[in-house]
A and B are shown apart, each in its own frame.
Chain A
Amino acid sequence: MNLLEAKNLKVVFWPKRSMFAWAKEQLRAVDDVSFAVEAGETLGLVGESGCGKTTLGRAVIRLIPCDGGNIVFDGEDITNVTGKQLREQRRKFQMIFQDPFNSLNPRMNVGQIIGEAIDAHGLSDNADGRWEKIESLLKAVGLEPAYARRYPREFSGGQRQRIGIARALAVEPKLIVCDEPVSAVDVSIQAQIVTLLQDLQAERGLAYLLISHDLAVVEHMSRRILVMYLGKVVESGDSNTIVSSPQHPYTQALVSAVPTIEPGTKRKRMVLGGDAPSPINPPSGCPFHPRCPLAETRCKSDAPALREIAPGHFVSCHLA
């Protein structure tokens, strides 16, 4: 059963270009995106900076309002719930942030940080139970229970990320949106966090929406992958398929751009020209056509639809 289902989701921003600009331009950060996450699975979301992956991650857990489409979580439509109802729903989904230095309150100790999450949802009615819970959470993420009395500044990046994970686990969520969980930690620590997330998933049956620009990390953790470009999904499918036989030219370029460590076995590099265009004024037709090495005339005028080219493998390209 699908735990989270997003249909035709849209998020539009109205950036202020200058204080004298009267006509506002719209920026479609997420444009008609549909996907589903099953209970206990990991869905990977990859794309370059500015493609809307973080916005999408925040929108599905109602941290920012959506401008279209609907979100069904655990059988309930949460697109428009507010107030108390939304707070109740929020217990079921949590988020882990990229920057473990800015996402923890420096004035609170670790026990208070985790305890705040427990209190916010009234999950413990006595002090002893609450404390036990904090200690067991710290143990679950591989930290000493005694760390509860310390402050975030006393920890390394990897340890802070563990604290962030413990805070997310405090309310026993069903889904955790992981926004670049390992981008800000050291190489030798990355694997620790990845394995921790995988172990927690196996133990607790958590579902993850994993947002990352690092295709190798996403492939490692996810069963399915969604590739985004300029607010749209350009390809989605099994992580194995996406990495070994990508069909969209953008995914192909993305896969070939990942540096490999295998000496001598260099993949044929497909270097894309130029930068991703601004989402304020996206190109006509296929949004990828100005950078696409295979672009034809029709790509400039007709936007390709997301088609299922093989069971479970969706591609939005005229040529696929």
Chain B
Amino acid sequence: MKLRETESADGLKPLLEVNELKVGFERDGKSICVVDGVSFCVKRGETFCLVGESGCGKTVTALSIAKLLATPPAQWLGGQILLNGQDTLQMQERELRQVRGSVISYIFQEPGASLNPAFSVGSQVKDALKLHRPDDATDSEIVRLLTAVGIAAPELRMRDCPGELSGGMQQRVMIAIALASNPKLLVADEPTTALDVTIQAQILELLQEIKRRLGTTILLITHNLAIVSEIADHVAVMYAGQIVESAPAMELLRRPLHPYTKALIAAMPRLGHVTEKLIPIRGVVPSPNAVPSGCRFHPRCTLAQPDCSQTAPELKEVEPGHWVRCPYWQRSAPSEK
């Protein structure tokens, strides 16, 4: 199954195509499938968001792209990941090292935990340069990169160790390191979750500027639908290891069709909407070793029909570009106005 047309108008293949990806983790001799048949494609120059709650498999999906999971316990059980036309899942360690950095770079949730506390941030940017662009591993290039991510007085700051910088500054350094190798795809895994809202706004602004100026494609992983509305072009919502809905960002937020997406939006407190009572989603997120039968959301769904627990629904294109994994998407929830 192919999600969205695989060729854009200018004849370029999408930068990233994930087809039927299945990832499992081995535990007590059994394999627990945490990503189950995920397919999506990211076009060049766009910001694609993977949204979901903790444990839904969004981070595992993102880490699979550059095969960054330790095997064991992780197991790739099937599927294909075409990054710039090459299947990374089939690559050997040596080929992967070519791809990591030069095609795909990552930034993570906790910048403090990703940086080495014992070395100055300048030397850590330099390490990335030495590896990927050895001729450019100069102080002036480090200063240029740090300036590009909005660090004031980069000549001084590059001598600081990570501990001397604030969380927002550390995340900027992480972005500078990720950009040092001129990647085509920047994977940002919850880049602002550990930061304050005013700093979050700065980092989101920076990511958009990078996309505009350098044309970098961004795959953003987040649990926050509001961030999606700020920066995403296209969104895929994940639940319990599967994509349940995928659409252009504005379309998905304006007209969510899957009961889970709808429920998630109804459960979010929004500024200036105090009069609307929050509608909680009952139950808890299922654990990967006990996924419900049939539709994985059915125990928590207010619209569930008797057959929802029997047959697992397919992800179907119900409107051009809008994919939903629910046969009853046209019904509205009883609690909705």
Contact = CB atoms under 8 A, between A and B. Distances in A.
A220 B264 CA distance: 16
A113 to B, nearest CB: 20
B53 A187 contact: yes
Contacts of A156: 284-285
B267 interface: yes
Contacts of B264: 187-188
A295 interface: no
Interface stretch (A64-72, A98-106, A201-209, A258-266): A258-266
A194 B269 contact: yes
Which bracket fits the contact residues of A?
35 or more
Contact of B267 (A191, A262, A264, A275): A191
Contacts of B152: 274
B202 A272 contact: yes
Interface in A239-272: 239-240, 243-244, 253-264, 266, 269, 271-272
Interface string B258-274: 00000111011111101
B229 A261 contact: yes
Interface of B: 53-54, 152, 166, 168-169, 196-202, 204-205, 223-230, 249-250, 253-254, 263-265, 267-272, 274, 277-282, 284-285, 300
B202 A271 contact: yes
A187 B265 CA distance: 10
A256 B311 CA distance: 45
B166 A275 contact: yes
Given A187-B223, A220-B269, A240 B274 contact: yes
A26 interface: no
Contacts of B169: 275
Given A259-B229, A260-B226, A261-B229, A191 B280 contact: yes
A253 B199 CA distance: 11
A141 interface: no
Contacts of A188: 53, 263-264, 267, 280-281, 285, 300
A260 B269 contact: no
A212 B282 CA distance: 24
Question: 6 closest A-B pairs (Cβ-Cβ)?
Answer: A259-B226, A191-B267, A191-B280, A257-B201, A48-B196, A192-B280
